[in-house]
Amino acid sequence: MAGPKVDSVAIILPVVNERANLENLLPELEDYTVYVVDDGSTDGTQQICTLWGNVHLVERHRRMGLVSAILEGFKRLPLTCKYAVVMDSDFSHNPSYIPDLLRSAMDKQADLVVGSRYVPGGKNGDAVTRRIISLGGNIAFRSTFSARVKDATSGFRVYSAQAMEFLLDSNLEEPISPSYAGQIDIMRRLIGSGFRVYEHPIKFVKRSQGKSKLKFDDIQSFASLIFRKGNIGRYVIVGLSGILVNFLILTLLYGYMGFPASPLAVEASVVSNFVLNDRFTFRKRATKTSSTFLFRLARFNLFSLLGLGVNSVVFYGLYSEMLKSGFATKGSIVGIGIADFVGIVCAFLVTYLSSTFYVWRESEK
């Protein structure tokens, strides 16, 4: 199938101090209409843009956030624009992929095509630290929003006119996060509203010039969005209720049964957590899984037991190392507290991820 007409496509480049990169990139984009959304560059970025007749410069004079710049670009597009390509200007997003991404949007009738590093044929060639952040962010997205998109944090995207209109709708539930976290916020909203999302493989390379715009505040915003809007916040609440159930059962039965009351209290809390998660945390996924209620309960029990094992192993292993290194003394409240906290966090991650990807796993159909 032939690709879309170039005059129905626009390229949006959010930039801050990208003069050196734009000098090399803009010649590669001379067949497209390009919108450079500049957040207060001081390196002459604006002057480079004026040298190209196909480039529209949108100056905002101060940093207002990556996704804010993308949405500003959407607002400037003419009604004849059917697709917008959003990409970085540092060649980590190779412009040679643009025709393939656009063709995928047409062939798959997709509202969002993501240049993906994590589907077959894709590759992430970024620095190790950024790769770890990327993988962690995508695992968090997939688990907390019950989505199958493997590269939700990729900034190399093609949006349809329908998707852009939806994202600019003033009646949205709340404003889209203007920062880096807005990338997954956009993905969450489009998937949740039934828009078609497709991933096309790309090979992502480390930027050759300039510095990354990712800040610690962006990571904080990302974590906040994950906790507020996804499954993980509800999972934590259910887990806390399980602690209360355990305490109440143990208190009621220990005077009559002694030690056997402890495993009964643990199992009561596990069952309570399962029922609440099935009806509250993963309610939508429970209706889409092919497994029965009892099968899910059995699996949840198994992974809860695994979590207890992980907690114990991490606690005793870390506490022993702290004693050997002299960081803590035997019986130290601080040492015990730190080791126990780390053990609880590790156990939580095991049970949460296993619950997401195995217990309440949606049917492939």
Tell me the pTM: 0.78
Q: What is the arithmetic mean of pLDDT over 183-200?
A: 92
Q: What is the arithmetic mean of pLDDT over 46-59?
A: 94
For residue 251, which amino acid is it?
T
What is the predicted pLDDT for the residue at 211?
A: 59
Over 64-97, what HEC string results?
CCHHHHHHHHHHHCCCCCCEEEECCCCCCCCHHH
Question: What residue spans define the domains of the chain?
Answer: 6-229, 231-359
What is the predicted pLDDT for the residue at 256?
A: 81
The residues, any chain, with a CB within 8 Å of residue 29's CB and separated by 6 or more, are 11, 54, 95
Instruction: For 61, list phi and psi in degrees, rounded to 5.
Output: 70, -10
Domain boundaries 6-229, corresponding CATH code: 3.90.550.10
The mean predicted confidence, pLDDT, of the chain is: 87
Q: Which tens digits make up the pLDDT trace of 307-327?
A: 989 988 998 899 888 888 888
Tokens representing 26? 């803009």
Residue 28 clears pLDDT 90, i.e. is over it: yes
Identify any residues that bridge with 126 across adjacent strands, giving them in sequence order. none
